[in-house]
């Protein structure tokens, strides 16, 4: 439920996590209010993203509160991370309210061109829809697998942590 119907124009303010060894690119839609406040991905305490990655990769570093440790865990497992949207108008953190989208073509193409991406993982239906709408703007090689995963957002109450993990294990 959207409590406040005030749109805010947001621009992605923190950098993608990737290096030339990255094999998996995980894309969300747009950072939540909490993520924008803290300057890093999936920082709402009820988002299950870091818990899911911790189980999938059997690595507790993903649960560390230190952002640098999270970044190092991503890179250790050859995972890159960004969002499909570079800027948009949004009400709070509500994906359904997203409008006036500018896609993150430059950043995503930089990741794709960096070398070894084999899989693109789309975190949730909105990220998948936005990616599909913008796919022609990306330099995706034919051998890259694209997987749509259920959202780790707390708004996706239909998926327990166990059900999420059972789906997300496919990224390996």
Distance CA 51, CA 141 (A): 30
CATH number of domain containing 163: 3.40.470.10
Distance CA 166, CA 143 (A): 24
Distance CA 103, CA 112 (A): 15
On whether residue 1 sits in a domain, the answer given is: no
pTM value is: 0.96
Domain that holds residue 84: 8-171
pLDDT in tens, the chain (172 residues): 345 679 999 999 999 999 999 999 999 999 999 999 999 999 999 999 999 999 999 999 999 999 999 999 999 999 999 999 999 999 999 999 999 999 999 999 999 999 799 999 999 999 999 999 999 999 999 999 999 999 999 999 999 999 999 999 999 9
On whether residue 2 sits in a domain, the answer given is: no
Q: Quote the number of domains for the chain.
A: 1
On whether residue 3 sits in a domain, the answer given is: no
On whether residue 159 sits in a domain, the answer given is: yes
């Amino acid at each position: 439920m959207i409590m406040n119907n005030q749109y805010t124009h947001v621009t992605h303010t923190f950098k993608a996590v990737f290096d030339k060894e990255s094999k998996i690119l995980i894309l969300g839609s747009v950072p939540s209010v909490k993520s924008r406040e803290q300057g890093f991905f999936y920082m709402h305490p009820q988002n299950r993203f870091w818990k899911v990655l911790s189980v999938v990769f059997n690595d507790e570093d993903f649960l560390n509160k230190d952002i640098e440790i999270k970044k190092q865990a991503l890179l250790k497992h050859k995972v890159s991370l960004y969002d499909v949207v570079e800027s948009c108008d949004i009400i709070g953190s509500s994906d359904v309210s997203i409008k006036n989208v500018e896609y993150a073509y430059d950043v995503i193409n930089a990741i794709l061109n960096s070398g070894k991406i084999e899989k693109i993982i789309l975190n949730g239906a909105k990220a998948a829809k936005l990616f599909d709408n913008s796919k022609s703007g990306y330099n995706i090689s034919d051998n890259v697998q694209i997987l749509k995963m259920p959202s780790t957002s707390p708004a996706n109450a239909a998926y327990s942590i166990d059900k999420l993990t059972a789906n997300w294990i496919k990224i390996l």
